Amino acid sequence: MVQYNFKKITVVPNGKDFIDIILSRTQRQTPTVVHKGYAISRLRQFYMRKVKYTQQNYHEKLSAIIDEFPRLDDIHPFYGDLLHVLYNKDHYKLALGQINTARNLISKISKDYVRLLKYGDSLYRCKALKVAALGRMCTVIKRISPSLAYLEQIRQHMARLPSIDPNTRTILICGYPNVGKSSFINKITRADVDVQPYAFTTKSLFIGHTDYKYLRYQVIDTPGILDRPFEDRNIIEMCSITALAHLRAAVLFFLDISGSCGYSISQQAALFHSIKSLFMNKPLIIVCNKTDLQPLDGISEEERKLVMDMKAEAMKTLLGQGGEATNDEGVLLTMSTLTEEGVIAVKNAACERLLDQRVEVKMKSKKMNDCLNRFHVAVPKPRDQKERPPCIPAAVLEAKAKEAAEKKNRKTERDLENENGGAGVYSASLKKHYILANDEWKEDIMPEILDGHNVYDFFDPDIWQRLEELENEEGLRQAEEADNDFEIDGEELTPEQQEALTEIRKKKSLLIQQHRIKKSTAESRPMVPRKFDKDKQFTSERMGRQLSKMGLDPSLAMERARSRSISRKGRKRERSHDRRDADGDVMDMDVDTPNKKQRIRSLSRSRSLSRPPGEVVPGEGFKDSAQKIKAIKIAKKSVKKRNKDARRGEADRVIPNLKPKHLFSGKRSIGKTQRR
């Protein structure tokens, strides 16, 4: 079942917003920093990427607009004609065609400028080509701004259209203005259509839903129609004509027999005959409304004749559908929306006629023949003349009667509550449905704590047998422990042995504590802590003894260790030694170096110093620091004007200063008003 929901169409931005969206996205999603030191291939790729990305964004947005708006040739004819009536399909197609043309033009511009960028020979040339490409794309969008604005207005109006399903069960209400159509739809559905005592209150299609025989029906209220030539009808009337022409629905033609609507019965009959071609092959019911003001029996003979002629036309429509000529009681109905007399009868008659007509159409289709061939209804043939009426055994009847009596005499919880003090006093018993061997046990109080123990922890049918097994197992385990246990007691040892045992236990606890301390600091402790080796555990003599035990000659290793320690001490002493003069002041330790440059280099080895900007580095080509500082100043002065004039950078969108400060700030003096 196709649902047309035009509320999901995305918003169409206007031309200026469209350009801002695309260029901002290009600036955010592509690199914006480029240097003139880049290779020319890298510069070309940089600007080609910007042009391609902008074209892709334009293509996606414009394609979304073209795809989301419905194509009048592809949707249901009802919606196609309705959109043509409301918006003029020529203008609609022209606007979408301009969007499609703009999309193709932008793709062509991108293709051309990417081809030119492949041969760009400088940063300036590549940037100029990029600016030209983006500018031409934005110009194309500016030219279609009226089409974008038109499509946005159409989108807003389409979002307010009701969601009508052209293929479901539909009841269509039509007639002259102010005959009671909106009042009827408000009575049978939950729609809230405005009702006023003047013509053309309803200016568009309104939809409501009602239920009949567990099926959902949509009811459509159409604007009033006047009896005039087709070309003279306005947009409001054409909405009703479109619905009548394309929707397969049960039509209710409302007739105001009281004349309070401002139109006589003859005028309404003339309208009926002028549009009766739209009622062909549809269930039609003529509804005489406002019978509270004028009953049908009280109208004149001429008006009654006109109503009967309309009924005869409706009967012809029924015969054209294959209905019976005798079934004419549902063709002409009377009701009053003020007193609600006959409203439900009209609704039921319309739903029933529509249901019958849809069933007949389905039965005549080829698909139904294929389905009916698969069914077979078996009818038993009588084997004799004996009648066999349905028989229910007496036992079943007795059981059913007994169950009904019990159900009648059974007291509910509400009855028990009323008998025992009402709500807040009576508390329902949760134990009366317990399944126990004796019903008298249901209300027994079960203790939770017995002899200081929780009863539920000890509830077990075999608890005494299990307790006996556990006691036997515990006795056997204690006997085994008594035979195999070997414990050194103080009573069995002599005083010397007790002292030795005490020392052993102290030593053992001390080793355990040392191990725990080492284990806790194992991650942060160095492998060989020579600096904190207070006990002299890591010495060269100890290393020599260990190597000797292993059968190796330790002399070379010990000599190497001694030479390393001596050289380390010498370097340390040399680094920390300062020369002092007779007064005790520290003297320069590098006085004996040949020149100043070497002294500076030796100082730079000892600590890192930040070089001042005016310092001359060998190889730069400057005579001294003054010449270098002067060159830096000249370079800054040369790029100052360029930097001042080119603050735009590599951005894809330039927002100029629309309010310069010298024009919009300060106090205005005499004679300065005209320039603003």
**Per-residue pLDDT, 363:** 78
206-212 and 215-221 strand pairing: antiparallel
pLDDT at 410: 82
Which tokens is 466 given? 């299990």
**CA–CA distance, 351 with 211 (Å, rounded to integer):** 9
Tell me what percent of the residues of the chain surpass a pLDDT of 70: 82
Q: Who has greater pLDDT, 265 or 198? A: 265
Q: Which domains does the chain have, with CATH numbers?
A: 6-157 (1.20.120.1190), 163-366 (3.40.50.300)
Query: Is 461 or 209 the better-scoring residue by pLDDT?
Result: 209
The structure tokens 């389409």 sit at 158
Indicate the pTM of the whole model. 0.54
**pLDDT of 595 above 80:** no
What's the confidence (pLDDT) of residue 537? Answer: 66
The model's pLDDT over 609-658, given as tens digits with 9 standing for 90+, comes to 577 878 888 778 888 889 999 999 998 888 787 666 555 666 777 666 66
Beta strands 332-334 and 250-256: pairing type? unpaired
Q: What is the number of alpha carbons within 13 Å of residue 204 lying toward its C-beta?
A: 13
Beta bridge partners of residue 449, listed in sequence order? 454
Q: Which of 129-138, 577-586, 647-656 has the lowest mean pLDDT?
A: 577-586
Between the alpha carbon of residue 160 and those of residues 9, 217, 234, 236, the distances in Å are: 12, 21, 20, 15
- pLDDT tens-digit profile of 469-485? 888 888 888 887 766 55
Nearest to 220 by CA among 166, 172, 285: 172
**pLDDT at residue 586 greater than cutoff 50:** no
* Arithmetic mean of pLDDT over the chain: 81
Phi, psi of 354 (to 5 degrees): -65, -40
* E runs forming strands in 122-243: 170-175, 206-212, 215-221
Altogether, the residues listed in the chain come to a count of: 676
Q: Which residues contact 543 (CB under 8 A, 6 or more apart)?
A: 554, 557, 558, 561
- Say if CB 199 and CB 224 are below 8 A apart: yes
Q: What is the mean pLDDT of residues 192-199?
A: 78
Contact present, 622 and 628 (Cβ < 8 Å) = yes
CA distance 14 to 147: 9
Confidence of residue 134 (pLDDT cuts 50, 70, 90): very high
d(CA 25, CA 22): 5
Is the sign of the CA dihedral 481, 485, 490, 491 positive or negative?
A: positive
Element (H, E) at 289: strand 284-289
SS3 499: helix
Between residues 112 and 266, the one the model is more confident about: 112
Around Cβ 108, how many Cβ atoms within 10 Å?
A: 13
What band does 527 get if pLDDT is binned at 50, 70 and 90?
low
Residue 311 neighbours by CB under 8 Å, 6+ apart? 286, 328, 331, 332
Q: What confidence score (pLDDT) does residue 532 get?
A: 57
Is the pLDDT assigned to residue 661 strictly greater than 70?
yes
Residue 114 reports pLDDT greater than 80: yes
C-alpha atoms less than 13 angstroms from C-alpha of 563 in its C-beta half-sphere: 6
pLDDT number for residue 522: 59
Residue 488 has pLDDT above 80, yes or no: no
- Residue 167 has a pLDDT of 85
pLDDT at 524: 56
To 10 degrees, the CA torsion angle through 196, 200, 203, 208? 50
Q: What is the mean pLDDT of residues 419-427?
A: 86
250: pLDDT strictly greater than 60: yes
Q: Report CA dihedral (243, 247, 251, 257) to the nearest 10 degrees.
A: 0
